[in-house]
Structures are given as structure tokens and as C-alpha cells.
Chain A
Amino acid sequence: MRDVAIVAFGQSDHVRDSAETSEVEMLMPVLHDVLAQTGLAARDIDFTCSGSSDYLAGRAFSFTMALDGVGAWPPISESHVEMDGAWALYEAWVKLLTGEAETALVYSYGKSSPGSVRDVLTRQLDPYYVAPLWPDSVALAALQAQALIDAELTDERELAGIAARRRTAAGSNPHAQLRGEVPMGEPLVAPLRTGDCPPIGDGAAAVVLAVGDTARRLTDRPAWIRGLDHRIEAHGLGVRDLTDSPSTRLAAERAGAFELSHGRKGTGGAPMVDTAELHAPFTSQEVVLRRALRLDAPDSTVCINPSGGALAANPVMAAGLIRLGEAAARIQRGASDRALAHATSGPCLQHNLVAVLEGE
């Protein structure tokens, strides 16, 4: 199988309201950034894939406007997923594995500011039994949080600690929207407080993928994708055990996250990954993910969400791709040898993607 690596990652500054720029105006500097990192021009890219959602923009085929920022002449090979860009990356990865392309540009963007993202996200729910009740995204996450508290898997104090750690970590992330001391605030939908919830914001991200020697030519230290898998669970919330994430666990298994890395064979007890970028928009969801991914050992040295994660910046449709990008960038700059990146979609961690990235 061909080796595929992330060779460049870029993102916008994430802001509460980007009314002064259109989607393409917000995205273009990020595209130029990742292309400049690799020295590639848009015409050199074999395959381009993007992720976004019309429901955020309130307009049909909104991704075609953003495509203007890529430069589609001479004609390019292009695709789009109505999902987080992490799944656009998955499609591009498959394209590269099949041998149909040597390089790929993956980007995604989301502007939550034009609408009410809590209400917008209700439109992804079961349209017969659930969507007519308009349960917003915070309410559904709060049901999951209460289930965790009832099962004594967490408490409000631990959740507050997660919120504080992520936003403190984001202090060194110049792109983050929410950094440093953030009060836990009032209950938004109890038991979740405003501090347990992600900021609402706008942003964009892009990565460049390349195979084998092309990747080595484009960067000093490619972040090799050693495994990538995604799994989904039943959409009925009352069918699932909200305190667990079997789809995350299975995706991680298939991606090889629980296998020792090549370089660490025989070191006994060495961590399987040193970094985990988890897409947990709510503090309570980090608890579920850490358990599913076995990151909760008391002596664990795994660095979780050094970027601050989605609690520091949550551009819907880009936040998952950013987890892959942040993990790759950490490998590229030598701060990590083997990193796990996770992206989620749907209510209460319904659909989960896990990637294992390695330096050479």
C-alpha cells in the first residue's frame, strides 16, 4: 500500500463573527498558505476535496462559491463532502491510496455567525421523531453529560477542569478563539455551563496530502497517515449508550491506534501515541472519548489537545480537519512522533473518525 502523508496544514484565525469576509475571502489566505508551504501551485495538485455545509450558509451549493478560491483552470479533479473536512481528507486519502493521485488539497470552512448554529444543527436529526422537537445541539450534549454524571464517570468539577486545561493550552495557539481564564458561567442547558460548551465561530482550514517520495520532497518531515477509519452508530439517541463511544473505539482499533508503533517495539509500557487531538466540542464528550481511546491511565503521558481543541475554537465543518492538521503539524515540527487525531459528526458523538499519524 502507498504511504500517504500530511505535508502542510494551515488555518485561519477563528473569530466570533467574520461578516466582513465572504467564505471564499476567508478561505483563500489559508489555501495560499498551505500551497506556499509546499511550493505547489493549484494546478500541480492532482485532487481537491472540500467539506462544508449549506445549512450554515443558508444557501444551496454554497461550496461552489468557495471553489473560486482554488483556481479551477485548467480544469481540476474536485469533490466535496457535506461534512466536516476530516471526511474530505478521508476521501482524498482513499484517492491517493488507489494510485489515482500523488497530491491532494483538502480544505473546509464554516461560518456559524450568519445563523443560529444550535438551531441549524437540529436539521441533521431524524426528521420524523426528533427534528420536529427542535432539540438544539447543547441540549443533546447536556443529556449525554447527565448520563455520564449519573453513571459516576465524571462530575461537574472534572468538567470544569477540562474546560480550564483546554483554554489554558490554547494560550499558545494564536488561531484560537477562546484562550486563558474562561469562567464556567451560568448553566446553559444543565448540567452544561457556558464554559463546558465550545465558542461559536467562523474559520477555515486546509491540508496538503502527498504520497511517498513526493511527500519527502515537499517537506522535511511528513506526518505519515498510518491508519484512518471512521464508524457511525444508530441515529436513535435512546438506542445508544451515551456514556460510551463504541464507534470511536472501533475506528481507533482499525486505524491501529492501540498497536505499538514500529519504533517503540519492545519498550514495554511505552505510550502508543504521545499526542491526541480529540474533537470534543463539549467537556463531557472529552470524557467519553478518553475512555473509548484508553487515554485515561493514571500514569498516562499522552498530551491531549495541546491546541486547545474544539473548546477553544469550533468552526463547524472545519474543527475535525483541524484536529488532523494540528496533530500533523506537531509531528512536522518534531514535538510528536506518533499522534492520534479524531473527528466527530452528528449529535452526541454519533459518527467518529480516527487517524494515526507518525513521523519518520
Chain B
Amino acid sequence: MPEVLTAPLVVEFPFTRSLGPVQSAFLTGLRERTVLGVTASDGRVVVPPTEYDPVTAEEIRDLVEVGTSGTVTTWAWNPSPRRGQPLTTPFAWVLVRLDGADTALLHALDAPGPDAVRTGMRVRVRWAEERTGAITDIACFEPDDGAAEESRPAPDHSAGGAGRPAPHTGEFANPVTGITTPARLDYTYAPGRAQSRYLQALSDHRIVGERCPSCRKVYVPPRGACPTCGVATDTQVEAGPRGTVTTFCIVNIKAKNLDIEVPYVYAHIALDGADLALHARIGGIPYDRVRMGLRVEPVWAKGSRFPDHYRPTGEPDADYDSYKELI
């Protein structure tokens, strides 16, 4: 059993999302230090606001302004903040029901320790210094001793207001209509037994396939299973290194970060002794001279663990019948 290979794998994606009218108003409001909710079909004020009723799924749009202070409805103490979380020092996760709201908003609470946090405690928004129209415009919550500025706005005590939060048009100058949320996840990729054997052989300039014990086909590169028979391919077989171009395409568009002049040829190559074609770039020959049946061999760049490309061997072209099953 050879050593199993691993390698770091980083997946990053900056999702760009459009906002509907309700989400746009809410996130623009945060930029302006204003928290908006939406009135649901049953009269409840939903904060953060949704575009549809959480119970009936009907579209809802009646915005109201709620307070920037509220009450913790549940919490959890996080002693070891993780990447991307709102605070880098230990903090409490909290669900906060803002004054005037009937539902709670998830965020972080900056508190000295778990003993300083309890359900029912009063907290207020701490705004981020730079606000762009995102949930992170709320930097976090902080304990509200009631001494600081009053939670705003005051409930609507006008006739018919009945202490409910006041309606809000949701209109702001330069509304935010979209958000970009970058995300990064780190992995350690492990290709497994079969592919580890293949990659290790490649670094010795050998190409190793695996044979299916049932249909006898040789797969290069091997993945540990015969996709036709569904059984393990555990017999290693040397393949190539020479092979035959079975089909190809001419690439005319330069890929980002790829240092290869266009046009170039990408081809299916049936290695000698393999029953499945692999694909690779063809070099060492003008792009318009590549043809089906061309005999090729791998070229390793100095110090590389895998072939950089395949080049013509100079042999006569292979007979069509010898590779027609592998196109």
C-alpha cells in the first residue's frame, strides 16, 4: 500500500445576489442605521424581514421601523471564534427580538464572558463604522444598560398605533440592490488508493492503469472502480506511455491564468494497453497538423509530477480500426 497522497484544496466563491424590494429596504436601512421589519399576515412584525409570510407564504411588503435595542431570546457562548464570524474575541451568539418585533434576529453579542449573558437581557446594536448594506453593518450587539441613547424609534403611540412600530416607506437614497458574499472553504483533498497509486507512478514517469476483474478493461487514470461493472479495479497494469489521438478539438480562446498560446489542440488519447481514452494537450506539432490516428507520447516538464503535454512520436499513424472503439 503506497502512501496516500493529500493536497490542500481551497474553494472560494463570491456569490453575487440580487435583492428583492423587502431585502433591499432592510439592508439599505442597516447602512442608514435604521432597522426595518415587515408585517406578516397575522400582524406579527418579522425582523429580519422576509418577502413572504413565514406561515402562509403569501407575499408581504408592509415595512415598519423597529428599535435598535432588544431582548435576548436565547444565546450560546462561543469561546473560540471561527473565521468569518462577527467578532475575533470570545462572544455570545444571540437571537435578539428588537423592540417592536415579534421574531428574533441572529447575531453576535460582545460580552466579557458567559456570566454576563442571560436570556431576557437587554442589548443594543453596535453599528459597524463602515456600512455597505449588509447584515454585517451590524458589527454586533452590546449589553444595553439603558443609560445610552434611547432605542429608536419610539413605538407609534398615535391614534390606532397601539404601541406598534411605525410604518416605513422603505425608501432611501441610493438603495442597495445586490450583495456580494465572499465565501471560502478549505479542504485537504485525498484522492484515495487508486488515484494515489496513479499519481505516484506518474511522478516516476510511469503510467499505471487498473484492470477490471470482470470485463478485463484497463482504466487510465484508475479511480478504483469499474464504472461499467461496479467492482473494484485492483490489478495494476502498465499502460502507454505511447498512445494514439482518437479525436481532438482546437482551442481558440485563452483560458485565464493559462500560459499557453492559442490556438492549441486538446485531444483524446488512447494509451497503448488502455481501454479508455484520457485527454491532454498536444504539443510539438502545428495545431493544424494534428489528426486522428496520430501517435503521441507524454512530455514531462523538468521536476513535474505529471505530463505537461503529449507530442508526436514520429511513428506512422495508427490504423483507424485499432482505436475506433475508443473515440
Which A residues lie at the B interface, using CB under 8 A?
19-25, 28, 31-32, 42, 55, 57-58, 65, 67-73, 113-116, 118-120, 122-123, 127-136, 139-140, 142-147, 150, 187, 189-192, 234, 236-239, 242
Interchain CA distance A230-B121 in the complex, whole Å: 36
Distance to closest chain A CB from B129 (angstroms): 17
User: Is the Cβ of A242 less than 8 Å from the Cβ of B76?
Assistant: no
CB-CB under 8 A for A134 and B82, given A114-B188, A116-B186, A237-B95? yes
User: Is the Cβ of B97 less than 8 Å from the Cβ of A238?
Assistant: yes
Residues on A with beta carbons closer than 8 Å to the beta carbon of B85: 133-135
Distance to closest chain B CB from A24 (angstroms): 5
User: Is the Cβ of A237 less than 8 Å from the Cβ of B106?
Assistant: yes
CB-CB under 8 A for A114 and B9, given A20-B193, A58-B189, A189-B93? yes
By Cβ-Cβ distance, the 5 closest A-B pairs, closest first, are: A71-B230, A22-B192, A238-B104, A142-B76, A134-B84
Q: Contact flags (1/0) for B5-17 with A, using CB distance below 8 Å?
A: 0100101000101
Interchain CA distance A187-B79 in the complex, whole Å: 8
Residues on A with beta carbons closer than 8 Å to the beta carbon of B179: 128
Contact of B15 among A31, A127, A136 (CB under 8 A): A127
User: Is the Cβ of A69 less than 8 Å from the Cβ of B107?
Assistant: no
CB-CB under 8 A for A134 and B83, given A129-B48, A139-B78? yes
User: Is the Cβ of A115 less than 8 Å from the Cβ of B187?
Assistant: yes
CB-CB under 8 A for A25 and B194, given A58-B9, A71-B231, A135-B106? yes
Distance to closest chain A CB from B284 (angstroms): 32
Interchain CA distance A57-B54 in the complex, whole Å: 32
User: Is the Cβ of A22 less than 8 Å from the Cβ of B15?
Assistant: no
Residues on A with beta carbons closer than 8 Å to the beta carbon of B95: 143, 237-238
- Please, which residue of chain B has its CB at the minimum distance from the CB of A23? B192
Residues on B with beta carbons closer than 8 Å to the beta carbon of A130: 106, 135
Pair count A-B, CB < 8 A: 190
Distance to closest chain A CB from B286 (angstroms): 34
User: Is the Cβ of B187 less than 8 Å from the Cβ of A21?
Assistant: no
Interface size, B (range): 35 or more
Contact of B192 among A20, A122, A133, A237 (CB under 8 A): A20
B103 at the interface (CB under 8 A from A): yes
Contact of B227 among A72, A118, A242 (CB under 8 A): A72
B249 at the interface (CB under 8 A from A): no
Interchain CA distance A128-B192 in the complex, whole Å: 36
B114 at the interface (CB under 8 A from A): yes
**Interface with A: B165-173, B218-226, B301-309, which one?**
B218-226
Distance to closest chain B CB from A10 (angstroms): 14
Contact of B224 among A22, A122, A143, A146 (CB under 8 A): A22
Interchain CA distance A55-B4 in the complex, whole Å: 22
Residues B99-125 near A (CB distance < 8 A): 103-108, 114, 119
B158 at the interface (CB under 8 A from A): no
Interchain CA distance A188-B23 in the complex, whole Å: 33
Q: Contact flags (1/0) for B223-255 with A, using CB distance below 8 Å?
A: 111111111100000000000000000000000
Q: Contact flags (1/0) for B66-106 with A, using CB distance below 8 Å?
A: 00000001111111001111100000010101000001111
Beyond A132-B136, A135-B106, A238-B104, 16 additional contacts (C-beta under 8 Å) are A20-B1, A20-B190, A21-B193, A21-B224, A23-B192, A28-B231, A42-B230, A70-B230, A113-B190, A122-B84, A123-B183, A132-B134, A142-B93, A191-B77, A239-B46, A239-B54
User: Is the Cβ of B6 less than 8 Å from the Cβ of A19?
Assistant: yes
User: Is the Cβ of A236 less than 8 Å from the Cβ of B103?
Assistant: yes
Residues on A with beta carbons closer than 8 Å to the beta carbon of B227: 67-68, 71-73
Residues on B with beta carbons closer than 8 Å to the beta carbon of A133: 84-86, 106-108, 135-136
